[in-house]
């Protein structure tokens, strides 16, 4: 139970029907979850419009409805009020505001008593590297004994508690609920991935991030249900840097200044291979163990005289960093994580420990399928990630690279041709299979991937059943080869027409174990 006036504090709203109830018992944005006495927030979604479920919400006992358009006519209101009279309830209260998604964030923040005020929240955004970087930062804080929470694609967790979520960045109501749990548990820090969808749909409204990281930006997530075009995608990412104190940017990315310009950052740090960066990497060496590929580099910490554009070495300026993950992109992710950790005085030993023992589930996860060749499961599901991954693996001079992948349905269609083209160019043999087709025809998705493969003159075959495709790829591997199973990483399901069926690439690969 919460006072309605208090929940609506800071919001612009007007009451268009009935009277504001003194208290509400619940905040709900899904009519199917409404309980008696609730405030039902109508959200205009990508498939459905919450305003169409007002009647259901009222039948379930909602006391107030928050809308962003006056959708209820007199006849409907009379019907609803007659219904309520029979049940001895007051007339329905209808409130109107400009944007109900933004309102949901504001109301949720009040409902959960402003948990963000008691936390230092670190946000990570970018087209690629969010999960890996957030995970590294969280591991560093944890290794240093700092109670911290993690929110991202793989899971939400702190200490031994963990929970799966539907989105990389949860809806505002769930987000504030999670933050409240973390505060009550004694967490001081939260590291979270912030997707462009979350920024677009106001899921993180009301949070002032103590630090925000920008990893990189490439064309992605454009299409129905995501972003209209690249400009909108970029503008949404930029919003994170308008609600943060410290901004940490990948200086080698062509878009970093677009992210920084007009930001709210009181402090700016940069990282990259550029000598201008505050955290600068050089002298890279590839590492290859029996069950892991890794990388080692020299980290130089420079202090830049921002005003004069001068560069001056800091006293304790260099360090040999070892990361238990391969490739240039792991160097970028670790540089970002180190830049964050040092802002919070995380000791070097904790940083080293986290990077040495790092294994992000489903990210370049090496499986003991055979002692003669390498099998890797990875979450690369766009061209940028697949390109970075395959180039990285090429650097280890394998015999051949066999790549097995598909593309998700109801997601940016450009990914299909582009991933086909990248795989055709960088892999020696490609097996095109099925990812999460969702509501689309998997054969049509495969056709579009094959256009890219043809364009790159790649060698490929098609096996729609993912288990069979994986078995085929592994059974055709020769000593010294690398088999890459890309696209689903940590996922433990395959989504077809709204249903999630159990499926785990790691289990499918281990079924093919050869001795």
Ligand X SMILES: CC(=O)N[C@H]1[C@@H](OP(=O)(O)OP(=O)(O)OC[C@H]2O[C@@H](n3ccc(=O)[nH]c3=O)[C@H](O)[C@@H]2O)O[C@H](CO)[C@@H](O)[C@@H]1O[C@H](C)C(=O)N[C@@H](C)C(=O)N[C@H](CCC(=O)O)C(=O)O
Ligand Y SMILES: Nc1ncnc2c1ncn2[C@@H]1O[C@H](COP(=O)(O)OP(=O)(O)OP(=O)(O)O)[C@@H](O)[C@H]1O
Ligand Z SMILES: N[C@H](CCC[C@H](N)C(=O)O)C(=O)O
Q: Is 292 annotated as a binding residue?
A: no
Contact status: 270 vs ligand Y (CB under 6 A): no
- For residue 425, which phi and psi values (nearest 5 degrees)? -80, -40
If binding is defined by CB under 6 A, does position 26 make contact with ligand X? no
Residue nearest to ligand Z (CB): 408
Pick one of 153, 243, 270, 433: the residue that binds ligand Y (CB under 6 A).
153
Exposure class string for 396-407: b at 16+ Cβ within 10 A, else e: eebebbbbbbbb
Which of the stretches 27-35, 85-93, 249-257, 356-364 binds ligand X when contact is defined by CB under 6 A?
Answer: 27-35
Among 109, 128, 139, 411, binds ligand Y (CB under 6 A): 128
Considering the complex, state which of residue 166 and residue 306 has its C-beta at the smaller distance from ligand X. 166
Q: Which structure tokens are listed for 51?
A: 């305003």
Expressed in percent and rounded to 5, the helix, strand and coil fractions of the chain are 35, 25, 40
Does residue 30 interact with ligand X by CB under 6 A?
yes
Provide DSSP, 419-444.
HHHHHHHH-SEEEE-----BTS-HHH
User: Please, is 4 exposed, middle or buried when counting C-beta atoms within 10 Å of its C-beta (0-12, 13-18, 19+)?
Assistant: middle
CB under 6 A: which stretch of 26-34, 230-238, 277-285, 358-366 binds ligand X?
Answer: 26-34
Instruction: Kindly tell me which of 191 and 384 has the beta carbon lying closer to ligand Y.
Output: 384
Query: Rounded to the nearest 5°, which phi and psi values hold at 203?
Result: -70, -25
Work out whether 46 is an interface residue with ligand X (CB under 6 A). Answer: yes
Q: For residue 409, give Cα distances in angstroms to 214, 438, 470, 498, 503.
A: 27, 5, 20, 11, 16
- Do the annotations mark residue 114 as ligand-binding? no
* Dist CA 494 CA 35 (whole Å): 32
Q: Which does 129 bind (CB under 5 to 8 A by kind): ligand X, ligand Y, ligand Z, none?
A: ligand Y
Piece of 144-152, 221-229, 257-265, 313-321 that binds ligand X (CB under 6 A) = 221-229
Residue given tokens 């390498």 in the structure block: 374
Using DSSP, state whether 284 is helix, strand or coil: strand
d(CA 72, CA 69): 9
Residue numbers 178-207 binding ligand Y by CB under 6 A: 193
The site partner of 435 among ligand Z, ligand X, ligand Y, none (C-beta below 5 to 8 Å per kind) is ligand Z
> What angle do the packed helices 172-184 and 100-111 form, to 10 degrees?
20
Q: Least Å distance between CB 361 and ligand Y?
A: 10
Interface with ligand Z by CB under 6 A: which residues?
168, 381, 408, 411, 435-436, 487-488, 491
Q: Could you tell me if 195 and 226 are in contact, meaning their C-beta atoms sit under 8 angstroms apart?
A: no
**Residues 294-333 close enough to bind ligand Y by CB under 6 A:** 329, 332-333
CB of 241 to ligand X, least distance (A): 16
Residue 129 interacting with ligand Y (CB under 6 A): yes
- Binding-site annotation: residue ranges for ATP: 126-132
- Binding-site annotation: residue ranges: 31, 126-132, 167-169, 195, 203, 411, 435-438, 487, 491
Residues of this chain that bind ligand Y (CB under 6 A) = 126, 128-132, 153, 168, 193, 215-216, 329, 332-333, 363-364, 378-381, 384-385, 388-389
- Binding-site annotation: residue ranges for meso-2,6-diaminopimelate: 411, 435-438, 487, 491
């Amino acid at each position: 139970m919460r006072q309605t006036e208090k929940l609506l504090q800071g919001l612009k709203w007007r009451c268009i029907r009935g009277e504001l109830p003194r208290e509400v018992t619940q905040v709900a944005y899904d009519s199917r979850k409404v309980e008696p006495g609730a405030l039902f927030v109508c959200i205009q979604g990508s498939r459905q419009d919450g305003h169409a479920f007002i009647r259901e919400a009222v039948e379930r006992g909602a006391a107030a409805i928050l809308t962003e358009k006056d959708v209820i006519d007199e006849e409907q209101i009379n019907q609803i009020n007659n219904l309520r009279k029979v049940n001895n309830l007051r007339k329905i209260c209808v409130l109107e505001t400009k944007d109900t998604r933004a309102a949901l964030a504001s109301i949720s923040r009040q409902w959960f008593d402003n948990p963000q005020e008691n936390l230092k929240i670190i946000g990570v955004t970018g087209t690629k590297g969010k999960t890996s970087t957030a995970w590294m930062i969280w591991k560093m804080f944890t290794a240093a004994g700092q109670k911290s929470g993690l929110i991202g694609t793989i899971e939400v967790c702190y200490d031994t508690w963990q929970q799966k979520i539907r989105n990389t960045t949860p809806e505002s109501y769930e987000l504030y609920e999670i933050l409240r749990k973390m505060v009550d548990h004694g967490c001081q820090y939260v590291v979270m991935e912030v997707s462009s969808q979350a920024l677009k749909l106001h899921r993180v409204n009301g949070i002032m991030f103590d630090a925000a990281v920008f990893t990189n930006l490439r064309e992605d997530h454009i299409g129905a249900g995501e972003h209209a075009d690249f400009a909108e995608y970029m503008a949404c990412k930029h919003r994170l840097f308008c609600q943060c104190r410290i901004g940490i940017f990948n200086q080698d990315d062509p878009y970093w200044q677009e992210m920084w310009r007009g930001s709210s950052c009181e402090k700016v740090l940069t990282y990259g291979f550029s000598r201008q960066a505050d955290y600068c990497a050089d002298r890279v060496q590839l590492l290859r163990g029996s069950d892991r590929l890794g990388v080692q580099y020299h980290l130089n910490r420079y202090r830049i005289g921002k005003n004069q554009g001068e560069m001056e070495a800091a006293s304790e300026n260099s360090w040999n960093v070892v990361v238990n993950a391969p490739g240039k992109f792991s160097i970028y992710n670790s540089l970002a994580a180190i830049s964050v950790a040092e802002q919070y005085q995380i000791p070097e030993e904790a940083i080293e420990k986290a990077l040495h023992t790092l294994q992000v589930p489903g990210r370049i996860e090496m499986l003991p399928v055979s002692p003669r060749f390498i099998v890797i499961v990875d979450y690369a599901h766009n061209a940028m990630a697949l390109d970075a991954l395959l180039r990285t693996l090429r650097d280890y001079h394998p015999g051949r690279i066999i790549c097995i992948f598909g593309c998700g349905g109801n997601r940016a269609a450009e990914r299909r041709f582009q991933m086909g083209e990248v795989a055709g160019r960088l892999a020696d043999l490609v097996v095109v299979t099925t990812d999460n087709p969702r509501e689309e025809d998997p054969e049509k998705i495969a056709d579009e991937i094959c256009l890219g493969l043809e364009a790159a003159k790649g060698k490929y075959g098609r096996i729609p059943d993912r288990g069979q495709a994986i078995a085929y790829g592994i059974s055709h591997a020769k000593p010294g080869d690398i088999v890459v199973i890309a696209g689903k990483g940590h996922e433990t399901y395959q989504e077809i027409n709204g249903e999630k069926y159990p499926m785990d690439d790691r289990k499918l690969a281990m079924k093919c174990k050869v001795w």
